Structure 1
């Protein structure tokens, strides 16, 4: 596989003290195999545990690692915005900090991009390791986004993506912060700007430590609000 010339990887992290060290050290071991120049950015989204302290210790060992900390917590959308806009290199990848993806599969996303010349390579879950009610909620959300925006991808919210930085520079600035709408907003705006998508299946593993924070009623309602606000803007 041909290496990318440049690759930024970021991990949004909120209270991931049990997972962040393993996630970062694995990425640091893999990245020299897939990119000539690389960096890792941890977006510490106002963690209340030892996430920040652990990353600061890792920074002493991994020269291409840096951290940006939000105070207070801004939510998943805010963390993704920071990662996307603060990444320095021509290609940007992100995945979750909780260890539920195998970062070694980044090589498959890069190979898919090379084959298709896509501007965005979107992972989709081969089998998602979450409760059934979240699977049904995801299906309903994807149907709503498809009906409102015509976005036809297999999995909007899979947290493993590879994106050309030029996409982020060209599309209107992302706005969603608290709710789950950030991924939908990114893809809708990229589609409207004419960028090319490719999709590839990725494995998903059960969370072994820490707790997921993205399925509360407050977060869901915030996502719905963002969804209809963007729809209104596009109709103006």
Structure 2
């Protein structure tokens, strides 16, 4: 099994997950412990109104590799991951969802692909031919349409940007996360578009999804509209305003 030389930081956003976060945090930590020389699990309480924070702290009391980051108000998944990245101390940073529908142990294959292909980023893809997931036909249509849009706008040859399991080299991710503006609908697009524009290598890996709660939720018109608007805004900032280049220059000066 491939293993990272250095420290792995796994970021797990959580919002009102009091019923599952204690057990899932301990399980996620167990699964990633063999994957690197050292590791930490950062569970980000994204402005929860229930006992999520207390349950994370209970898990952290049992495993000192688990850390709780908590704040108010709710910022959305992108905001939570940005906050987690700022606190991460690893040489590599991974994202996973709190429900563990995508088991973090699958990162072993991500690590292998990162090393074999000399990639800077490895993202899980439900559209990968080797993936094991019951993906609704309408979702496949949306994914293909969005893939074509991203290819046209950003030359981003990634068929699935929304899967929660991702692995980054920290030196690549951290500067980008300090500059992102989208915190909700198109957060993943903003991160990957900037990384791609800076010439880093992104590759995809197959994943297996095991649902522990409900299956895929419905995509409404408002969700599609918000994603489309956010995506166009990212294109405008990246290629018209050159906002990210200017922000990077200011950060380095």
**Structure 1 residue 14: deviation in Å?**
1.4
Structure 2 matches for 1:70-89, cutoff 5 A?
A: 70-89=71-90
Structure 2 matches for 1:108-187, cutoff 5 A?
A: 108-125=109-126, 126-129=131-134, 131-171=136-176, 173-179=179-185, 181-187=186-192
**Structure 1 residue 3: deviation in Å?**
3.6
**Structure 1 residue 202: deviation in Å?**
0.8
1:228 aligned residue: 232
TM-score, normalised to structure 1, is: 0.89
Residues 3, 34 of structure 2: 8 Å contact kept: no
1:37 aligned residue: 38
Structure 2 matches for 1:30-69, cutoff 5 A?
A: 30-69=31-70
Change (3 A) 1:220 1:16: farther
Q: Secondary structure at the match of 1:200?
A: strand
Superposed CA RMSD in Å reads 2.3
Which moved further from structure 2: 47-56 or 217-226? 217-226
How many Å separate the matches in 2 of 1:78 and 1:216? 22
How many Å separate the matches in 1 of 2:190 and 2:211? 27
Q: Secondary structure at the match of 1:60?
A: helix
How many Å separate the matches in 2 of 1:72 and 1:139? 34
How many Å separate the matches in 2 of 1:54 and 1:98? 14
**1:103 corresponds to 2:108:** no
Residues 4, 34 of structure 1: 8 Å contact kept: no
Matched pairs, number = 234
Q: Deviations over 1:16-39 (max 9, x none)?
A: 223322321122212331111211
Q: Secondary structure at the match of 2:62?
A: coil
Q: Deviations over 1:175-222 (max 9, x none)?
A: 11132x11111111001111111221010122326x988956555433
Change (3 A) 1:218 1:80: farther
How many Å separate the matches in 1 of 2:195 and 2:158? 12
Q: Secondary structure at the match of 1:221?
A: helix
Moved over 6 A (4+): 211-214
Structure 1, unmatched stretches of 5+, are none
**Structure 1 residue 46: deviation in Å?**
1.4
Structure 2, unmatched stretches of 5+, are 242-253
1:7 aligned residue: 8
How many Å separate the matches in 2 of 1:69 and 1:220? 30
**Structure 1 residue 137: deviation in Å?**
3.0
Change (3 A) 1:190 1:95: same
Q: Deviations over 1:146-195 (max 9, x none)?
A: 2221111131111111100111234471111132x111111110011111
Residues 121, 163 of structure 1: 8 Å contact kept: yes
